[in-house]
Amino acid sequence: MSAKAKIGVLGASGYTGAELVRLLLRHPHVEVALLTADRRAGKPMADVFPQFAPFDLPPLTALADVDWAALRLDLVFCALPHGTTQEVISDLLKHVPSMKVVDLSADFRIADPAAYERWYGEHPRPDLMSEAVYGLTELHRERIAGAAIVANPGCYPTASLLALAPLARAGLIADVVIDAKQGISGAGRVFDETTHLSMAGENIVPYKVAAHRHTPEIEEQLARLDPAHRELKVQFQAHLVPLDQGELASCYVTTTRAVGADELREMYREAYEEEPFVELLADAPSGVLEVRETNYCRVFAAADEHTGKVIAFGAIDNLWKGTSSQAVQNLNLMFGLPETAGLQ
């Protein structure tokens, strides 16, 4: 690609949108050509996030006022609320059929309409569901490269699936418990007891017990990875802990057969030795601070001789590899750029 790719960010005034813009400004091969934000339309981005003052960015525009034909964008990131994206994407593909889309909502992450409906309600555009490719880069690299719509994964599935993928591909998962912990930024820009420093600051809080919407996304992906496409019921539980950014998935796997330490090590090494953004640790799991504000996922797996189970950990920054920087990683693939462009 010779000229810079023209990029739009829909929903630029939210946290995810702002994080995306920050990453795009550092990216050598793209140009931010559109920022939408309905309630802030007409204002400069720096009004909402003062740190953008030094940069030359287009003003915030209402989605309805965008002149798609004139803009001729190469790609849009959709950072819109869950449940609103299907119609938007459908509309804009009518205007510019060649435009690529990376969607950061949950709307296209699940391919099975029945599973989607069970957790989220009826999908308004089931016809589009099959067009979207699940954007966990390390798992679907080739399909992402050719995709028109990429559904960027949730942060919990990203950490969990990278921890579990080598076992899943080997058909070794008989049963799995995923205990995930995340910083308060995972609760979003919400102002209540869950985010107030005096209440959250010295607390550990489990939430959405036996009801987390990331479960079907993880289950569907594990079934795809499994050689026999076996469907597993995944026990997933999320917790808020008192830091800002960072996420750890601790995965406890009952295996379909005994797995020794050497076999496990070799399995993970093969899976990840070529990956630019997965770091496999040899001796102990990583904390989340070590991957803060990076696109890295740090993975550690151990065979527990005492119980026979395998324990696997995935540590990421929930706002980066869990959201925005993985979206940029996907953009790189979709444009044939080096996968690490703008991310190191």
The residues assigned a catalytic role are 155
Which of 11/314 has CB closer to its own copies? 314
- Comparing CA positions, the residue from 187, 314, 307, 179 lying closest to residue 244 is 187
The phi, psi pair for 227, rounded to 5°, reads -60, -35
Q: Which residues pair with 240 in a beta bridge?
A: 182, 205
Give the residue, chosen from 13, 16, 85, 215, that forms a contact with its own copies under the rule CB under 8 A. 215
The phi, psi pair for 283, rounded to 5°, reads -115, -30
Smallest separation (angstroms) from its own copies to the CB of 183: 8
DSSP 3-state of 251? strand
- Comparing CA positions, the residue from 164, 159, 188, 192 lying closest to residue 176 is 164
Give the residue, chosen from 3, 69, 70, 209, that forms a contact with its own copies under the rule CB under 8 A. 209
Q: Which stretch binds its own copies (CB under 8 A): 3-11, 85-93, 198-206, 330-338?
A: 198-206
Cβ partners under 8 Å of residue 335, min gap 6: 1, 5, 29, 74, 75
Size of the site for its own copies (CB under 8 A): 71
Q: Which residues pair with 249 in a beta bridge?
A: 180, 314
- Helical (H) or strand (E) element with 30: strand 30-36
Smallest separation (angstroms) from its own copies to the CB of 72: 28
Fill in the per-residue mask, 262 to 291: x = in contact with its own copies (CB under 8 A), - = not in contact: --------------x--x----xx-xxxx-
Smallest separation (angstroms) from its own copies to the CB of 48: 13
DSSP 3-state of 234? strand
235 binds its own copies (CB under 8 A): yes
In one letter, which amino acid is 142?
E
Which of 110/128 has CB closer to its own copies? 110
Cβ partners under 8 Å of residue 218, min gap 6: 156, 157, 160, 161, 178, 234, 236
Q: Which stretch binds its own copies (CB under 8 A): 67-75, 83-91, 130-138, 298-306?
A: 298-306
96 binds its own copies (CB under 8 A): no
Which of 69/190 has CB closer to its own copies? 190
Q: Which stretch binds its own copies (CB under 8 A): 107-115, 144-152, 196-204, 264-272?
A: 196-204
CA dist 42 and 28 (Å) reads: 27
300 binds its own copies (CB under 8 A): yes
Give the residue, chosen from 41, 148, 223, 243, that forms a contact with its own copies under the rule CB under 8 A. 243
321 binds its own copies (CB under 8 A): no
Q: Which stretch binds its own copies (CB under 8 A): 125-133, 141-149, 263-271, 307-315?
A: 307-315
- Cα-Cα-Cα-Cα torsion 337, 133, 78, 31, nearest 10 degrees, comes to 10
160 binds its own copies (CB under 8 A): no
Smallest separation (angstroms) from its own copies to the CB of 341: 14
Give the residue, chosen from 83, 120, 125, 195, that forms a contact with its own copies under the rule CB under 8 A. 195
